Amino acid sequence: MYSQKRNVTPTKAVEILEKHGTKVSLEEAKLILDFMYKFGKLAIDTELKALEIRFKQNAK
Pick the closest to residue 29 from 18, 39, 43, 40 (CA basis).
18
User: 10 Å Cβ neighbour count for 9?
Assistant: 13
* pLDDT tens per residue across span 8-56: 999 999 999 999 999 999 999 999 999 999 999 999 999 999 999 999 8
Tell me the C-alpha distance between 59 and 38, whole Å: 31
Tell me the C-alpha distance between 38 and 43, whole Å: 9
pLDDT of residue 3: 57
Give the pTM: 0.75
pLDDT at 5: 78
Supply the pLDDT for residue 1: 46
